[in-house]
Chains A and B, each alone.
Chain A
Amino acid sequence: MAVEQTRAQAPARAGEQPTHAGEQSRIHNIGYRNYDGPRLGRAYARRSLYSQSLRGAYGLGRSAKSKVLPMLLFAVMCVPAAIMVAVAVATQANDLPIKYTDYAIIMQAVIGLYVASQAPQSVSRDLRFKTVPLYFSRPIETADYVRAKFAALTSALFILTTVPLIVLYVGALLAKLDFTDQTKGFGQGLVSVALLSLLFAGIGLVISAVTPRRGFGIAAVIAVLTISYGAVSAVQAIADVQNSGDAVPWLGLFSPITLIDGVQTAFLGATSNFPGGHGPSSGQGVVHLLVVLALIAGCYGLLMRRYRKAGL
């Protein structure tokens, strides 16, 4: 509606011009026009920043080169799902090869790469080129900037992790699998990837916001996501072999992806991918969930602190 208003004013203003136009020798110089259209304020600016960042996370509105990686990773995420569906339909299986909740855990390396490439892209650039002060000299405030960026990367990750699940779900329905079962599994998968998206986005943004150097950001995000997972799985495997299976769920608290695994095993009907299948009990699951929520909140808090300092 606001847009229509502006359009309506444009011809009216243009209509005033001819009186001047005759006197001007150069066609370029049509004089300064004041803007008296609507100013949509903070909430609109925040939404604009959100959509610009979300599009940017897939390279849209950016150079062709920056579209390559996110689109490639997106394709890599979807292909296995398509193959699974094809197999399930062709073999007329009774169930999909994997659970909805397992998909993101199996594909975690791809998700990690995506976060590592897009989180620094989203925030390091503004810090490195010192564009941040330009944002904060406008109606939007620190919280708006942080929320828009956080929401945009979370949405981008949610799209990345949900589309394969949709492929699986649609395929399952085409293969005439049980509707209730599939819908329930799909729903659980959605909740799980939503949590995963929030957590990964938070961690990725906090690490990227520390350094204005994009390269460092990429390396640091990969390091935190994969090294922590590698270390945790290794220690979990040792604990399992040495018959201290009880320790396995607790160890899961120390890497992002095992945290998500713990939560979904306890609450979302997933089968644990922990070594020896030592999934967390309900009590341990609550701890996992609390840690996940605390991490997300903590990341938000850290980002706010970072940008309050980065102001002008």
Chain B
Amino acid sequence: MTTATSGSPNVEFVTVIATESLSKRFPRVTALDRLSVDIGPGVTGLVGANGAGKSTLIKILLGLSPATEGRAEVLGLDVASKGGDIRERVGYMPEHDCLPPDVSATEFVVHMARMSGLPPTAARERTADTLRHVGLYEERYRPIGGYSTGMKQRVKLAQALVHDPQLVFLDEPTNGLDPVGRDEMLGLIRRIHTDFGISVLVTSHLLGELERTCDHVVVVDGGKLLRSSSTRDFTQSTATLAIEVTDTDEHPDGTGALRKALHARGMTVSDGSGLPGAGHILLLTAQGEETYDLVRDVVADLGLGLVRMEQRRHQIAEVFKDSDEQANAQGSQHARKEAVGHGG
């Protein structure tokens, strides 16, 4: 864990959120079970089924609910003692509806900005800026009651960003949105980091959504950490190469010739049945840089034309499906953790 001190504001936090065997037990259920995780700057996805402990974790990180055991730091501040300081620098967008229908988005966000400590003039300026950034224009003067779900989600996002926090917690921001709205929201979340420079912790129960949006994914299940790694790791570990070659006079079936040649070099090759262009495309698992070189050399030796060699990104979901299958095969919970651990 990093030892960034709260006293020096210029410290670049390497770790935005750090928890150490954090546990939260209620009389009947254990919401979090010895969760230890370090989260750096950027967009981090917190994935888990409903009831996996995502919202409980956010509550603890905001300093609103004491942990039963263990400790946590947000932006280098201890959640148990510095809750107020954390909440001044952090934004929170709840999962549920939280907007009064009879006031306009502008009035509401201005009020929330003042609740975050912004002086009146700054609150108004920031509100206008923030609403524009989340994509609300003329409609911001109308009562929120008449907004679509997508617009309401934007207002909820705006109130979390209006005080220019260093970190925002977004609890299921894509809930209830149609596919287009979902894409727009995910794009907006990406921009919060790239354009606004604000780190994001976004929860979802859909893995697929987070693949495109997040730099890092933390998976929790039953309050336990299943896995924490960067999205690149998720997809790189099973990077699949798709290769298409031309036929030549010497090799009327170029694809077949290449398959044979690669087989001879000990590569496992499949023909990508079920995919578009099946029969003309070879799929093989990339073991690293040398795989690319090998394919290039083999294709050159055969004198074929290389039409394409591209990386097929796997969905994160597939990675988990694989892990789950292994886990089921091995049976015990312990084995399951191991299997998932290998993926990273």
Identify the A interface with B (CB < 8 A): 2-3, 6-7, 10, 28, 31-35, 37-42, 44-45, 48-49, 52, 61-63, 125-126, 129-131, 133-141, 311-312
Given contacts A134-B159, A136-B64, A311-B64, contact A6 B114 (CB under 8 A): no
User: With a CB–CB cut-off of 8 A, which chain B residues contact A38?
Assistant: 117, 119, 122
Give the distance to chain A from B188, nearest Cβ to Cβ, in Å: 12
Interface membership of B317, Cβ < 8 A: no
Q: Would you call A312 and B65 a contact (CB within 8 A)? A: yes
Q: Would you call B125 and A45 a contact (CB within 8 A)? A: no
Q: Would you call B126 and A35 a contact (CB within 8 A)? A: yes
Q: Would you call A130 and B98 a contact (CB within 8 A)? A: yes
Identity of the chain A residue whose Cβ is nearest the Cβ of B161 in the assembled complex: A32
User: With a CB–CB cut-off of 8 A, which chain A residues contact B87?
Assistant: 137-139
Chain B: interface size category: 35 or more
Interface membership of B141, Cβ < 8 A: no
User: With a CB–CB cut-off of 8 A, which chain A residues contact B163?
Assistant: 35, 39
Q: Would you call A131 and B114 a contact (CB within 8 A)? A: no
User: With a CB–CB cut-off of 8 A, which chain A residues contact B197?
Assistant: 32, 34
7 tightest A-B CB contacts, nearest first: A35-B164, A137-B92, A39-B117, A48-B114, A6-B122, A32-B196, A40-B117
Q: Would you call B64 and A312 a contact (CB within 8 A)? A: yes
Identity of the chain A residue whose Cβ is nearest the Cβ of B99 in the assembled complex: A129
Give the distance to chain B from A28, nearest Cβ to Cβ, in Å: 7
Identity of the chain B residue whose Cβ is nearest the Cβ of A141 in the assembled complex: B84
Question: A35 to B163, alpha carbons, bound, how many Å?
Answer: 7
Interface membership of B111, Cβ < 8 A: yes
Q: Interface residues of A: mostly helix, strand, loop or mixed?
A: loop
Question: A134 to B117, alpha carbons, bound, how many Å?
Answer: 14
The stretch of B72-80, B100-108, B259-267 in contact with A is: B100-108
Identity of the chain B residue whose Cβ is nearest the Cβ of A35 in the assembled complex: B164
Identity of the chain B residue whose Cβ is nearest the Cβ of A43 in the assembled complex: B117
Q: Would you call A45 and B114 a contact (CB within 8 A)? A: yes
Interface membership of B112, Cβ < 8 A: yes
Can you show 22 pairs from A to B with CB atoms below 8 A apart?
Answer: A2-B119, A6-B121, A7-B121, A32-B133, A32-B196, A33-B129, A34-B164, A35-B163, A39-B88, A40-B118, A44-B114, A45-B114, A52-B114, A129-B97, A130-B96, A133-B92, A133-B94, A134-B98, A137-B62, A137-B91, A138-B112, A139-B117
Question: A48 to B119, alpha carbons, bound, how many Å?
Answer: 10
Identity of the chain A residue whose Cβ is nearest the Cβ of B86 in the assembled complex: A139
Interface membership of B132, Cβ < 8 A: yes
Q: Would you call B111 and A52 a contact (CB within 8 A)? A: yes
Q: Supply 19 further A-B pairs (C-beta < 8 A) apart from A129-B101, A137-B91, A312-B62.
A: A6-B121, A7-B121, A31-B195, A32-B129, A33-B129, A34-B164, A37-B118, A38-B117, A40-B119, A41-B117, A44-B117, A44-B119, A125-B100, A131-B98, A134-B92, A134-B94, A139-B84, A312-B59, A312-B65
